[in-house]
Amino acid sequence: MSKPFSTLPSTARVTPTPFEVSIPKGRLTEMETLIKLAKLAPPTYENSQTDCRYGITTHWLVTMRELWLRSYKWKASEDRINSFPQWTTEVEDMTIHFVGLFSEKKDAIPILLIHGWPGSFLEFIPILELFQKEYSPSTLPFHLIVPSLPGYTFSSGPPLDKNFTTEDISRIFDQLMRDLGFEGGYVAQGGDIGSRIARAMAVDYESCKAVHLNVTFMGRPEGMTDDGLDTYEREGIERMNNFRTMGSGYATEHGTRPSTIGHVISSNPVALLAWIGEKFLEWVDDPLPPNHILESVTLYWLTDTFPRSIYTYRQNFPPPPIPVTNTPRWYIKKPLGFSSFPMELARLPRSWVETTGNLVFWGQHKQGGHFAALERPEELKSDLVEFVQQVWPGIAGGK
Task: Show which residues are catalytic.
Answer: 192, 313, 370
CA distances from 13 to 33, 92, 177 (A): 45, 15, 10
Question: What residues contact 188, with CB distance under 8 A and at least 6 apart?
Answer: 111, 112, 114, 173, 197, 198, 201, 202, 208, 210, 211, 212
**Which residue from 65, 39, 61 is spatially nearest to 52, judged by alpha carbons?**
61
CA distances from 45 to 50, 53, 64 (A): 10, 11, 20
> Residue 99: enclosing H or E segment and its boundaries?
strand 94-101
Burial 117-147 (b: 16+ CB within 10 A, else e): bbbbbbbbbbbbeebbeebebeebbbbbbbb
**Which residues pair with residue 336 across a beta bridge?**
211, 359
Residue 64 CB burial class (10 angstroms; 0-12, 13-18, ≥19): buried
3-state SS of 105-164?
CCCCEEEEEECCCCCCHHHHHHHHHHHHHHCCCCCCCEEEEEECCCCCCCCCCCCCCCCC
- With vertex at residue 33, the alpha carbon angle to CA 155 and CA 31, rounded to the nearest 5 degrees, is 10
d(CA 283, CA 262): 22
CA quadruple 27, 32, 36, 40: dihedral sign: positive
- With vertex at residue 16, the alpha carbon angle to CA 15 and CA 18, rounded to the nearest 5 degrees, is 125
d(CA 182, CA 169): 17
